[in-house]
Structure 1
């Protein structure tokens, strides 16, 4: 009994919205509402089952916004500084459009009354499924840019379609454990519920007080206007590495304070730069940000400097933070020279030598191993009783008032999910065999991995808003089974990892529909609609950029360096071309990375017993899988982006939430969506006005031709070729060849 009570207390501590809950009145008695106070405060326990949902207005806006959002996000995915336009933007924009259509369309079947909240939710759900960029697009890109392959548009689209929708079939099982139970709150959905409720009810505004929609419009315009400064006129403001300005010739200062190094003290005044690789810090709960901060500081600012300056794994031969690939002498690794018919050529590999990566890059893989194994232990320690109880109750017992209200609607039959799952599996087998992506049996193995990890990952995301990925374990497994084949490796990774991730997307949206009382069958078809549209638009956008932009995804391109895709490519070489046996096996210098699996497995155990011994302390907020996943986006994310992200998180999710709670409740989430929108509009407009015409800002102090920190991103020891020497121009053929046994000393700048 005491154990159950302790688990319940720890579980409640995961939900860091207590101040919000205290500032919203809950009129109904506790037993008439959700047992979770945050849900009871935000989610209505009333329903109107007769509201029309899949109306003409829905179809028009769903298709339109799915196309727009999928194009925007795929376009910015290629950008040197990526950006993701959130569904909150569509949620806000669709509201006035829906009301306008309700006003101007003739009354009848096309216009069945006022634009209602369930229509609005369904539009947002469709756009949410269209908002993420299809992971399989990266396979198409690396095939064209690096491996000189192209299987054709049909093969690419079928691969995208299957990997994006196969996981939806898993949601039919997951909904019993991740949607119906009241404890599975999915914190990010509460943000959307709050926005829907406030948009569809008359705000009780005081004289001179702004509505949320007015605030959104003004904030979007302000951010759009401001973004021209760091984004075009004054780019230095995007990353102010003042520490290495003290002495630009000092390599230690550049490594510690540079934006391509550890980023200590670096400041960014560019919203796009801060949120490029992480969610908006305005919506992530503060307790989760604390875990991310702790993990970041321990890994990036403690482990990495120690490893680098002790020269672990020849760390000083390479930049401290990079996803690039190197030879043992520090030069760029010639991947094509070790390939024959796009598989590893052992004689070529023996001639070139082993692949080397930055020590930080190797450590991130180790941390990823630890995070994956810790997730298994954490789920067992904290949630085993809940899983058993839910298994027993899933078919017989309603969880709370929201689940009871949903009984008014026909549930999606299990055979719908099963049919979708089987059809997509069959198509996956066909395209992988016919187009030679990978063998048929690898399809089943990838799907099995996704199924095994879907539930524990879903439990973590439903409680913490953080999703541990399967990308590392999938490429690790197939790298041992099919070594030397990069395309098979990334295909297996995509099928295994993204099937699980898409299952989470579908389940999260089901929970949002559960909160808003949207008919489940309407949600099912709306989510499929958004996913199919997004897959097509993603591929069309990627194909257009690959064919129209010169030097796309290379260092020569200023605007489209494709940081995500380049990391994806590096992973395809590490795990596919070279394979984990050569890269992390017994003969490799990186062999110790494998021990992180064991470390991660045992790490949650002492914290579990410490929490039981010392309840109601800061230990209640320590979440090992979230902590270990903190640096999961590095690289390509840089440390200075984390520090600025955490600073904004402190300002809004801690300070504003605690000391300006009324303002925080009304405007913080709206501001996040507005800032994303303003930056996105600036990015597209500047591209079509300037970038597409190769017109740039003239060089001046705020847009220097050469960086102020000239050693930022360079190794302590230069390669013999001198190719990465920042003190000599590329045209200077007299650049010295450095002795590898000596540290790099910068010559005088000219």
Structure 2
């Protein structure tokens, strides 16, 4: 084994304090002090005198050494990754159609692939094989942590492609079929086009030490736990034993919220104490109201919206909860009970569309059945759709989140981004960046080839397969994805949260091409998912950066997993249409497809009716346009206060995080936020401050163990009970606040 270490240089305590304060406030220092010529820098040394990350949260989790002899892209990888990715893509797509999907977390895949990898390391022959001028070993030694990570990066790409929503709503709601080849091309291109955008951002979002990507640290902790040999002296429990204990307890406990007593997942105190009060239900419902005095005793529900609070820094947790309180507990009840936009004609929570009298909005009656264009006579008869006040104001918050993000990034990161554009050398990088210099980087032409090929195939798909989106619309979508990848990537890298482009992409193409629902959702998918996958690849590259995986191997693995899963997604969706003609229909309780219904509602708002008739000068919700200006202005006073009073609380206020935190409400449940915040305060403030040794050793492992136990038990419950039609009917499994009835 060959460990790489780097030369040491001293860093003063004052310099370290400055660096640590910068990351707490979400500001990028790059992890070093640079001179005017860019050649001189200082590095941080840990208590052992070794060069290390300047950020404590990284030092606690990530090794500052690298073993370059560990195998990575091996035969074992291909034997494991390809069939597991196919199986996962099949299962996830199948479960996506269910009214209550069954999640398969990354931790359960890590648990499954570890023994398989070790088994292959024992049974495969230790033999070199040659193909042409290439030679490789069938069994290059023990199953390594780097192989393990690559297998799971490949399988993690097996999620449900966003483009499946387009295929589903075209068939189910608009009664139009997309040919199989067209569906595959649409799905492949929307999934891959963002990878071409990631190359430009690598040196801004992966190499800098201050781009921490907190969620990556949980994965790093799990992989090191699985593959490291720990010293058991001193009476401390090993991380592996702690992980297995938590997994077992979590799995056993999850039978309670998962099957036996589901009410503990969504406890609504006001509904329990005042079951006949509609106002109490509206204020207190976990799933259908504002979540006041609601809480969850189910880790799966608690992390369903924002992920694990143990992977989010405390300053971001505080900003997220502030945004939730302002939006859900202040603005929404004020607007609803003052009947703004006739709010009391509709539900207080939900994403359904209504006619003015509160009945369901008759979308198909407004459309020409052949062209799907808006029938103006029918539209004049029914008028524009109405929304719940929360749904409407949520769009305004989304407008503000995007404009605030651009201003925030310009104010806080603008000078550093410009400096990095001027620098062509990687001087002043931290220990992890310089260790990664031992591996060849991904050539820019790889990224450009993926971008060019995906763009060309996208244009062909849009023009030939009836999406109504012209070639210039596709190029505009790609341009929007490219514009937002860097700012949203920065916010995700420092705060674990960032706004999506779904609203702004719908907004732009809705103004340009009103009355074209399929063109609208296609444009949204290319723009929104293009950016999302660029950020996803960058996050995986950062994980590989921490684990010292060759960047080229990370790129190949992510691309392979994405291509496989996209094809499988389409084939499974086609199969479902054949064997279950009523899938996703309103009367199908088991296979309702909640996500597709929300996607369809958005296609009506932005595509059929159009933003001008909803939010523009003609629109009932035109006041929401002011949120663009509000979002752009809000970051400025807090930035000025932080500069004037650098020790004040203003330096921790991050307006894009405050606004982006509530971007999924509805359909995200409001009741998850208070419990998520309480757990975040416990682990990311109290334990990190007063029990730092325990926190450093066990916090991330606890999060992963809870996920693993739930994932295992979820599969058991599905196979043993749900799939066989076994239901436990009693008071503890009744719906949350049954007095409220609304579609989400």
Q: Same fold (TM over 0.5)?
A: yes
- Is 1:703 equivalent to 2:723 in the alignment? no
Larger mean CA deviation between 228-237 and 138-147 belongs to: 228-237
Residue pairs, 1:205-604, within 5 angstroms:
205-206=232-233, 209-259=236-286, 260-340=288-368, 341=370, 342-395=372-425, 397=427, 399-437=429-467, 438-548=469-579, 552-554=583-585, 556-604=587-635
The Cα of 1:262 is off from its aligned counterpart by: 0.9
Q: Find the residue that maps to 1:677 and give its secondary structure.
A: helix
Deviations 1:209-231 (A, max 9, x none): 54333443443343333333222
The Cα of 1:674 is off from its aligned counterpart by: 3.1
CA RMSD of aligned residues (A): 2.7
- Is 1:142 equivalent to 2:161 in the alignment? no
Query: C-alpha distance in 2, partners of 1:376/1:661?
Result: 35
Distance 1:359 1:115, change over 3 A: same
Q: Find the residue that maps to 2:733 and give its secondary structure.
A: coil
Q: Find the residue that maps to 2:698 and give its secondary structure.
A: helix
The Cα of 1:172 is off from its aligned counterpart by: 1.5
* Aligned match of 1:12: 23
The Cα of 1:564 is off from its aligned counterpart by: 2.6
TM-score for both structures, normalised by structure 1: 0.88
Query: C-alpha distance in 2, partners of 1:449/1:468?
Result: 14
Query: C-alpha distance in 1, partners of 2:699/2:580?
Result: 37
Kept in 2: contact 1:317–1:329 (CA 8 A): yes
Deviations 1:529-581 (A, max 9, x none): 11112212333444445555685435544444333322211111100111101
* Aligned match of 2:75: 56
Deviations 1:494-521 (A, max 9, x none): 0001101100111111122222222222
Q: Which residue, out of 187, 193, 214, partners 1:160?
A: 187
Q: Which residue, out of 120, 124, 129, partners 2:152?
A: 124
The Cα of 1:666 is off from its aligned counterpart by: 3.1
Distance 1:493 1:207, change over 3 A: same
How many residues are matched?
Answer: 700
- Is 1:181 equivalent to 2:205 in the alignment? no
Larger mean CA deviation between 199-208 and 568-577 belongs to: 199-208
Larger mean CA deviation between 324-333 and 109-118 belongs to: 109-118
Query: C-alpha distance in 2, partners of 1:7/1:626?
Result: 23
Query: C-alpha distance in 1, partners of 2:723/2:52?
Result: 55
Q: Find the residue that maps to 1:408 and give its secondary structure.
A: coil
Distance 1:240 1:33, change over 3 A: closer
Kept in 2: contact 1:607–1:619 (CA 8 A): yes
Larger mean CA deviation between 326-335 and 508-517 belongs to: 508-517
Query: C-alpha distance in 2, partners of 1:397/1:217?
Result: 42
* Aligned match of 2:46: 26
Larger mean CA deviation between 310-319 and 530-539 belongs to: 530-539
The Cα of 1:40 is off from its aligned counterpart by: 4.0
Kept in 1: contact 2:64–2:432 (CA 8 A): yes
Gaps of 5+ in 2: 1-14, 28-43, 128-136
* Aligned match of 1:739: none
Distance 1:103 1:642, change over 3 A: same
The Cα of 1:364 is off from its aligned counterpart by: 0.4
Query: C-alpha distance in 1, partners of 2:231/2:738?
Result: 55
Query: C-alpha distance in 1, partners of 2:679/2:388?
Result: 29
Larger mean CA deviation between 501-510 and 422-431 belongs to: 501-510
Q: Find the residue that maps to 1:118 and give its secondary structure.
A: helix
The Cα of 1:646 is off from its aligned counterpart by: 2.0
Deviations 1:410-451 (A, max 9, x none): 222211111111000000001111001121111101001111
Kept in 2: contact 1:485–1:576 (CA 8 A): yes
Query: C-alpha distance in 2, partners of 1:5/1:391?
Result: 25
Query: C-alpha distance in 2, partners of 1:500/1:708?
Result: 36
Larger mean CA deviation between 483-492 and 70-79 belongs to: 70-79
Distance 1:6 1:547, change over 3 A: farther
* Aligned match of 2:109: 90
Query: C-alpha distance in 2, partners of 1:398/1:578?
Result: 53
Larger mean CA deviation between 460-469 and 500-509 belongs to: 460-469
Q: Find the residue that maps to 1:42 and give its secondary structure.
A: coil
Larger mean CA deviation between 147-156 and 121-130 belongs to: 121-130
The Cα of 1:525 is off from its aligned counterpart by: 1.1
Kept in 1: contact 2:105–2:711 (CA 8 A): no
Larger mean CA deviation between 400-409 and 627-636 belongs to: 400-409
Query: C-alpha distance in 2, partners of 1:7/1:666?
Result: 25
* Aligned match of 1:628: 659
Distance 1:278 1:152, change over 3 A: farther
Q: Which residue, out of 117, 121, 126, partners 1:107?
A: 126
Query: C-alpha distance in 2, partners of 1:7/1:47?
Result: 28
Deviations 1:62-94 (A, max 9, x none): 224433443454445444445654434433443
Kept in 2: contact 1:159–1:431 (CA 8 A): yes
Distance 1:404 1:275, change over 3 A: closer
Q: Which residue, out of 194, 198, 201, partners 2:221?
A: 194
The Cα of 1:653 is off from its aligned counterpart by: 2.8
Kept in 2: contact 1:469–1:497 (CA 8 A): yes
The Cα of 1:665 is off from its aligned counterpart by: 2.9
Kept in 2: contact 1:328–1:356 (CA 8 A): yes
The Cα of 1:373 is off from its aligned counterpart by: 0.1
The Cα of 1:409 is off from its aligned counterpart by: 2.2
Kept in 2: contact 1:81–1:272 (CA 8 A): no
Distance 1:644 1:160, change over 3 A: same
Kept in 2: contact 1:77–1:84 (CA 8 A): no
Distance 1:396 1:206, change over 3 A: closer
Gaps of 5+ in 1: 17-23, 715-723, 725-750
Query: C-alpha distance in 2, partners of 1:691/1:416?
Result: 45
